[in-house]
Amino acid sequence: MTLIQYGDYFYLYVLMIALIPAIILGLLEKQIKYYGAFLSILMVIAIMGIGKIFPLFLLAEIILIKGYFILRKKTDNKYLYYFALICSMLPVIIFKISAITSERSIGFIGLSYLNFKAIQMIIEIYDGAIKDVNILKTLYFFLFFPTLSCGPIDRSRRFEDDLEKNIGRKEYIDDYLNLGIKRIIRGIVYKFIIANLVSALWMSKIPTDITFINSLNYMYAYSLYLFFDFAGYTAFAVGTSYILGIKVPENFNKPFLSKDMKEFWTRWHISLSKWFGDYIYSRFVLNSMRNKRFKNRFIASNVGQLLTMLIMGAWHDLKWYYIIYGLYQGLALVGTDIYQRKSKFYKTHKKQKWFQYIQIVITFHIACFGLLLFSGYLYSK
């Protein structure tokens, strides 16, 4: 029997028992990382079962990361870097393509999130930001179970800094235990109560006939369901991580109160949008400006936004409605950028409260329509 991570009350019961030793260690001002690593191994086995694919993936990525780190100290050859980067991406590329050609017989829970970790490390090794690759710490970074299936997407250097931090009793109680418990409670309320109620009492009762009214109804229901479900199990992940002494980044910050789509992507799935922003968008724009591909930085930025969101859509899956979703989000960002730069009306009223409230309402509907595209509801027949 395998556990369903953040999927039911049984997992929550197991989790609460498993966290008791971590809490005791924290209160005694002892290092939690050794118990956390041991617990992560047990939980990964309980969630995934004992198979061959995940250990092979883990071994291959660790060898690749350590091997490239050794080679990078000797050379900054770009072709070697590109080769290592492509190799780090291969598992998720094969997984996505296999959905088109077969029934997706390969893959495992959390493959995409784990692949983000490997890609990030290869990029930062090339940049020189990672000064050392400790195999045991890297293994723990990959195996850290709270973020296994759904993120948030952490960075290796930040994670290792937390591992080495000595946490006093008062700091552990105030900044780790209390905050962790609050987030777990938030996860219970969001996922097991609000999301379930939205699904059972609203979303499941919408007729399957695709009409304007039904689609509008489903758009609101699905957007709220997805937020509370996703933010719920993310809150579980963050809360569990805190109790284990690791402050993983937050993933949601009241996204439906955003005043524009650029702000929305700083509030929704924050760790994913920051990852794509840091490793795709920013690098594309800087490289384009350096090589003078476009007339000015605004065009470079807009092309970068479109490219980044298209890749994000494809990352979710290679189904065509995810590609449309990515294109839609890219166009929404480009449209927002052009409007804010060129509209005198916006510049005149952007600081006025009434205008900001209107912006929130409009942005909410732009975001919700994007989530309707993402849901696949419009293509269900």
End-to-end alpha-carbon separation of the chain, Å? 35
* Neighbour-count burial of 337, counting CB atoms closer than 10 A to its CB (0-12 exposed, 13-18 middle, 19+ buried): middle
Contacts with 306 (C-beta within 8 Å, 6 or more apart), sequence order:
327, 330, 331, 333, 334
Between vectors from CA 152 to CA 124 and to CA 117, what angle results, nearest 5°?
Answer: 30
Separation CA 50–CA 237 (nearest Å): 22
Torsion of CA 16, 19, 21, 26, to 10 degrees: -130
- Rounded Cα distance between 241 and 238, Å, is 5
Q: Which two tokens stand for residue 329?
A: 């989000």
- The tokens for 12 are 């929550």
**132 with 114: CB under 8 angstroms?**
no
Which residues, in sequence order, are CB contacts of 134 under 8 Å at separation 6+? 160
Contact present, 119 and 279 (Cβ < 8 Å): yes
Q: Give CA–CA dist 311/309, Å, rounded.
A: 5
User: What's the distance, CA 304 to chain centroid?
Assistant: 20
Whether 316 is a known active-site residue: answer yes
Please give the Cα distance from 313 to 150 (Å, whole number): 16
Other Cβ atoms less than 10 A from the Cβ of 218: the count is 22
In the set 269, 316, 349, 365, the catalytic residue is 316
What tokens were used for 317? 């899956």
Residue from 128, 90, 125 nearest 111 by CA: 90
What is the SS3 assignment for 35? helix
- Which residue type does 322 have? Y
Active site residues per annotation: 316
